[in-house]
Structure 1
Amino acid sequence: MDNEKQTFWRSYLSGLQLSVAVAAYTKVPLTWRDDDYVPDINKLYFIEDGEGYVAVGDDRYYPKPGSLCLLPAERRQSYGTTGEQTFSKYWCHFTAKLGGLHLFHALEVPVVVRIDDPPRLKAMFDRLIAAHQSPDWTAGMLEQAALLEILAAFLEQSRPVAAVASPEGAIQKMTSVLAYIEAHLADNLTVEELAALLHFHPNYFSRVFKRTTGLSPIQYVNRKRMDKARHQLAFTGMSVSAIALSLGMEPTYFSRMFKEHTGLAPSEYRESFA
């Protein structure tokens, strides 16, 4: 993936919407089998031990211990046992969408990858399962963080990754806009100003932008501002007021927006890194 596409995907993935349906560890029974069905969710299997098979479309795989398998949503698939020593596996069912598009319809990735550091991935799944089972009010955040870490590990092991869906066209239209936003977070950016970069009508631009990123232009700008603010609070000594002004925001309004996005006041967020 060239530098232009990497820049686009880095910004595009900031709009990723995740939802975990179930996460667990299982020693599958001999009856573990299903053939030629089409699920509406993605499935991750991290094989710790045993043997069996998974299939996507007409391709069948026999993952070994230490393998991470991704079975994408809305694809014909099968799975089953092949002997007495059945899979012991960590697993997760989840959705991952970008502006209504399944993530793994937009990216071409392998079904099975070998993991370089299985104990590290096991620890990620342990965190995911613990968060999924926890009643704590912060558990949803921890659950998403753990799943994001697992998906990042999967994509790292899947290199090179190819884009296969509409983002190719969106790259040409939106890369310059996303770069402009990054460079002008301190400015009073408007939809009209951003639309003018592509010579689009503002209403049409807003539709294309949301279809591409999953967010409206203003939502995207505010998210990038809060991302930068979190980094500055964690890694610099800038005051809250100075950070707000560096983002072109009045300090009181900035503090209110930051708490809406993170659940913490800026000072509380900084203290969590102390």
Structure 2
Amino acid sequence: MDNAIGLDSNPYLVNMQLDLFFAAYTKVPVTWRDYDYTPNFNKMYYITEGEGYLKIGKQEYYPKPGELYIMPAGILQSYSTISDNTLGKYWCHFTSKLGDLQLFDHVAVSSYVVQPEPAEMKGLFERLIRYANRDDLTSRFRIRSILLELLSSFFDLCGHTKLNRTTNSTYDKMSAVLQHIEDNVSLQMTVEELAHIAHFQPNYFIHVFKNFTGLSPIQYINRHRLEKATQLLTFTSMSISSIADSIGLELSYFSRMFKEHSGYAPSTYRELMAGPRTK
């Protein structure tokens, strides 16, 4: 039996936690080198000039301009210069976690290097660097969006990409639970109800759910509700009370929860997302 599934069929990816540490463009010095180390974060390099050496796991590479590399967390790595014509690269360091595991613990790829469209890739990295140097609410959203676009481009181009599926039965059960949450976000749900769908005892269900999503069931439901509310505030003209109803929360509780989550009242957030209006 094939022990993998397509990336687009996994609901846990929706809940992936993405955090950017650094983003920049660098022409590396001739002293740029490190051997046999294992980072606890992912690295992404888009090569624009020069030459050098990378080793990712057991695979050795000599990067060329136009190539995009992913160097996943938890994999033994090395890098160095090989001449005075050193690498020029856009790069970023980031984490991408699904529950307690890194994204690349779940994903098997056939290669760590692809050749994307140059103008698109440079544009994405330049936007990422610009927003990484800002400290405002909308920049945080845009950073996540750009990281997802970069990862999507990589997975689209790297060919054979599969999501590891180590426990079919548990995966199927948790898929059913997450789909139930998605379909019933306007209704009240209990841990006991969700555990019954998975055919688990409640305490064990909570443990399994947190391993898969990184959140408790209640935290996941509330975050899902707030993400849906954020989309409705940004892209629709629904009233705030209607939005609260659509995610199963009373208006006062929704307003308080949204402000705790975003730092803004729902009405203020909507005005912020709308931007300045011309008169």
Quick check: TM above 0.5? Answer: yes
SS in 1 for 2:274: coil
TM-score by length of 2: 0.86
Gaps of 5+ in 2: none
Q: Could you say if the C-alpha distance between residues 50 and 168 of structure 1 is closer, same or farther in structure 2, counting changes exceeding 3 Å? A: farther
Partner of 1:51 in structure 2?
A: 51
CA contact (8 A) 2:209 2:217 kept: yes
Q: What is the identity, as a one-letter code, of the residue corresponding to 2:113?
A: V
Deviation at 1:103, TM superposition (A): 1.2
In 2: Cα distance, 1:219 partner to 1:166 partner: 25
In 2: Cα distance, 1:18 partner to 1:169 partner: 27
Q: Deviations over 1:217-258 (max 9, x none)?
A: 111111211222222223333211111112221111112222
Q: Deviations over 1:187-208 (max 9, x none)?
A: 1101000001122111110110
Partner of 1:179 in structure 2?
A: 179
Q: Could you say if the C-alpha distance between residues 227 and 150 of structure 1 is closer, same or farther in structure 2, counting changes exceeding 3 Å? A: same
Partner of 1:240 in structure 2?
A: 240
Partner of 1:273 in structure 2?
A: 274
In 1: Cα distance, 2:217 partner to 2:33 partner: 45
Deviation at 1:159, TM superposition (A): 4.4
Partner of 1:195 in structure 2?
A: 195
Query: Does structure 1 residue 115 correspond to structure 2 residue 116?
Result: yes
Q: What is the identity, as a one-letter code, of the residue corresponding to 2:226?
A: M
Query: Does structure 1 residue 208 correspond to structure 2 residue 208?
Result: yes
CA contact (8 A) 1:55 1:78 kept: yes
CA contact (8 A) 1:21 1:94 kept: yes
TM-score by length of 1: 0.88
Partner of 1:74 in structure 2?
A: 74
In 2: Cα distance, 1:153 partner to 1:252 partner: 41
Q: Could you say if the C-alpha distance between residues 13 and 33 of structure 1 is closer, same or farther in structure 2, counting changes exceeding 3 Å? A: same
Query: Does structure 1 residue 150 correspond to structure 2 residue 147?
Result: no
Q: Deviations over 1:79-103 (max 9, x none)?
A: 2223332210011222222212111
Q: Number of matched residues?
A: 269
Q: Deviations over 1:102-138 (max 9, x none)?
A: 111111122111112x22222222232233334x344
Partner of 1:13 in structure 2?
A: 13
Gaps of 5+ in 1: none
CA contact (8 A) 1:107 1:165 kept: no
Q: How does 1:129-140 map to 2 (within 5 A)?
A: 129-134=129-134, 136-138=135-137, 140=140
Q: Could you say if the C-alpha distance between residues 178 and 159 of structure 1 is closer, same or farther in structure 2, counting changes exceeding 3 Å? A: farther
RMSD, aligned α-carbons: 2.3
In 2: Cα distance, 1:25 partner to 1:168 partner: 42
CA contact (8 A) 2:51 2:81 kept: yes
In 2: Cα distance, 1:162 partner to 1:25 partner: 31
In 1: Cα distance, 2:161 partner to 2:222 partner: 29
In 2: Cα distance, 1:152 partner to 1:264 partner: 30
In 1: Cα distance, 2:246 partner to 2:19 partner: 33
Q: Could you say if the C-alpha distance between residues 103 and 168 of structure 1 is closer, same or farther in structure 2, counting changes exceeding 3 Å? A: farther
CA contact (8 A) 2:5 2:164 kept: no
In 1: Cα distance, 2:83 partner to 2:126 partner: 27
CA contact (8 A) 2:5 2:165 kept: no
Q: What is the identity, as a one-letter code, of the residue corresponding to 2:130?
A: A
Q: What is the identity, as a one-letter code, of the residue corresponding to 1:273?
A: A
Q: Could you say if the C-alpha distance between residues 92 and 170 of structure 1 is closer, same or farther in structure 2, counting changes exceeding 3 Å? A: farther
In 1: Cα distance, 2:261 partner to 2:44 partner: 29
Q: Could you say if the C-alpha distance between residues 248 and 39 of structure 1 is closer, same or farther in structure 2, counting changes exceeding 3 Å? A: closer
Q: How does 1:226-237 map to 2 (within 5 A)?
A: 226-237=226-237
